[in-house]
Amino acid sequence: MALTAAIVLAAGEGTRMRSSTPKVLHEFAGRTFLQRVMTSVGQLGPQTLAVVVHYQAERVAQAARSYDAGVCIVDQDDIPGTGRAVQCAMQQLQQDAPLEGPVLIAASDMPLLDTETLNQLLDFHHNSGNAATVLTTILDDPTGYGRIIRDSQGDVLGIVEQKDANSNELAVREVNTSVYVFDAAVLSAAIANLDSNNAQHEFYLTDALKAAKAHGRVGAFAAPDPLSVEGVNDRVQLSRLAKAYNHRIAEAWMREGVTVLDPDTTWIEDTVMIGQDAVILPGSFLKGNTVIGAQAQIGPYTTLIDARVGEGAVVERSRVQESHIGAHATIGPWTYLRPGNELGEGSKAGAYVEMKKAHIGNGTKVPHLSYVGDATLGEHTNIGGGTITANYDGVNKHHTTIGSNAHVGAGNLFVAPVTVGDGVTTGAGSVVRHDVPADALVYSENTEHVVEHWQPKSGQ
């Protein structure tokens, strides 16, 4: 069904979040509420996608444009209410000519609102010949939500907000999700005479449904999955919804052949991909566009952000960001891989190793207590503990290159820029400042001085 326009309501402050960040810019599983709703709505292919802003308007507008450069930003004035937000949007969208066809309206505080549910709503609206249709759900505890009041035929008489409802209306469990489809002409007429004669003294969009009944049938479509339309008003609700959704993600991966030992302490964002027979241990956070190969083992207590982990690799008690770990490599414990690393097959970055923009060849090992930054290490090289590539001279970063089959002694310092050839052996405690040819031995002579029978002088 062709969609003329979609209006996403993002003007509210969200005071119950108690935050300096607008509610719609809070994150849920790696993406903001607004980004998630805009993505789901955008996949419907509306001719125009509008986002209504007011609180921290420029900040929200900037975020919306980053999600969709073609979005139409609508500024709501100081008159409060969702009804007023839609009035402002329709006024701007119809500056040149009246809209014709269906208009979707969605709140932006439902991070799990999905395109499939919205498509079902649009199809129901079209097939029922409704003038307006509201998306609803049925809750065991409907506290805080507007109640759907139906007539004997099942049509919607109206929506009563919690603060305006009587005892009979409060007993209703079917609630408004703040998602609607209107015929454009019906919507224009229905919002024309809204008022603020209610407990909140706001222009309610829900009152437009009553007005729409003068133009045709007002129906309701119940979302098949209540989780997909659950709103977030405070951090308690955010936590509960995030946990419920994370359990779904973990369960889905387990059914695909991934072992998630403890879903209660394992967090997996919905953009992550995991291969069959991978094992995810407790305390792991898998974020962004992370890809984990088959039979890899992650955790415990590991964070992966936009990381790629090869088949059979092990990453234990480590943080890895924007790095590629080759098949059967071993990372950790307590390893920090900053962005830009490429670790080859069978390589190792061991305990208390930090890497940044390092290219590590197949089979090369950096076992412990080392920093490798802006460096290229060949294949089957061994780096002794306590080694540092000194890549920064206070102004610029410089590169270190160490060849294949090299053996670097403990406590070495490579002062970049420097190149060390294949097959080189370095002595313990060496400071390498100059290039070293292949198959050479290099060491620094540090004279040891011993002063016998020496004690520090006592203070006066």
Asked which of 142-156, 251-265, 316-330 is least confident by mean pLDDT, the reply is 142-156
Using the predicted structure, report yes or no on whether residue 458 has a pLDDT greater than 90.
no
Q: What pLDDT score was predicted for residue 318?
A: 98
Q: Record the tokens describing residue 363, joined without a space.
A: 């089979």
Domain boundary among 233, 257, 272: 233
Q: Phi/psi zone of residue 197: left (φ > 0), alpha (ψ -120 to 50 degrees), beta?
A: beta
Identify whether residues 227 and 376 lie together within a single domain. Answer: no
Tell me whether residue 176 is annotated as binding. yes
Residue 459: pLDDT band by 50, 70, 90 thresholds? Answer: low
Q: What is the CATH number of the domain that holds 385?
A: 2.160.10.10
Tell me whether residue 243 is annotated as binding. no
Tell me whether residue 373 is annotated as binding. no
Identify whether residues 169 and 195 lie together within a single domain. Answer: yes
Using the predicted structure, report yes or no on whether residue 151 has a pLDDT greater than 90.
no
Q: What pLDDT score was predicted for residue 309?
A: 98
Over residues 176-207, the pLDDT tens digits come to 999 999 999 999 999 998 888 777 778 889 88
User: CA angle, 160 as apex, 164 and 163 as ends, to 5°?
Assistant: 25
Using the predicted structure, report yes or no on whether residue 460 has a pLDDT greater than 60.
no
Tell me whether residue 81 is annotated as binding. yes
Biggest CA-to-CA distance, the chain: 105
Catalytic site residue from 247, 368, 398, 407: 368
Active site residue 26: no
Task: Write out the DSSP string of 132-187.
Answer: EEEEEEE-S--TTSPEEEE-TTS-EEEEE-GGG--HHHHT--EEEEEEEEEEHHHH
Prior bond of 263 cis (ω within 30°): no
Residue 449 lies in a domain: no
How far out from the chain centre does Cα 342 lie?
A: 24
Q: What pLDDT score was predicted for residue 200?
A: 77
Identify whether residues 247 and 335 lie together within a single domain. Answer: yes
Task: Please name every residue paired with 8 in a beta bridge, in sequence order, or none if there are none.
Answer: 51, 106
Identify whether residues 299 and 152 lie together within a single domain. Answer: no
- CA 400 – CA 7 distance, rounded (Å): 54
Tell me whether residue 9 is annotated as binding. yes
Domain boundary among 177, 206, 233: 233
Based on the structure, what is the number of domains in the chain? Answer: 2
Q: What pLDDT score was predicted for residue 22?
A: 96
Identify whether residues 183 and 257 lie together within a single domain. Answer: no
Over residues 232-268, the pLDDT tens digits come to 999 999 999 999 999 999 999 999 999 999 999 999 9
Q: What is the CATH number of the domain that holds 103?
A: 3.90.550.10
- CA 167 – CA 436 distance, rounded (Å): 86
- CA 227 – CA 233 distance, rounded (Å): 14
Identify whether residues 241 and 211 lie together within a single domain. Answer: no
Q: What pLDDT score was predicted for residue 313?
A: 98
Identify whether residues 197 and 269 lie together within a single domain. Answer: no
Average pLDDT along the chain: 95
Mean pLDDT value across residues 381-397: 96
Q: How far apart are the first and last CA of the chain?
A: 92
| φ/ψ of residue 241, rounded to 5 | -70, -40
Identify whether residues 150 and 197 lie together within a single domain. Answer: yes
Identify whether residues 209 and 65 lie together within a single domain. Answer: yes
Over residues 3-55, the pLDDT tens digits come to 999 999 999 999 999 999 999 999 999 999 999 999 999 999 999 999 999 99
Helix axes 115-128, 33-42, angle to 10 degrees: 50
Tell me whether residue 440 is annotated as binding. no
Domain region containing 186? 5-233
Using the predicted structure, report yes or no on whether residue 446 has a pLDDT greater than 90.
no
